[in-house]
Amino acid sequence: MKIKLTTLENQKTWSLVLFSPNYHPIGSKWVFQIKYKLDALVKRYNACLVAKGFIKKEGFDYYETFALVAKLTTIHCLLALAAD
């Protein structure tokens, strides 16, 4: 978790801000996974910090947390089509 938090801070993924008392922030939690090799040996341990999006209320904070993310393969396909 320390490595993951350091990486997120170095990439400037978020910034700390003060919010008003009527604002209800969405919480987060850690999800841990163990990645295995084909021969069942541990390859690496993985930790992800995820938002608890299931606590949102429609009409209140429902439309404010969407972030569009494009995969690298999608960008490659679009660039290949544009080059033709």
The pLDDT tens digits for 11-59 are 888 777 787 787 777 788 888 889 898 888 999 888 887 877 666 566 6
Annotated domain spans of the chain: 2-83
CA 3 to CA 84: how far, in whole Å?
A: 43
pLDDT of residue 56: 59
CA 30 to CA 24: how far, in whole Å?
A: 20
pLDDT of residue 62: 55
pLDDT of residue 26: 76
pTM across the whole model: 0.44
Tokens of 39: 């021969």
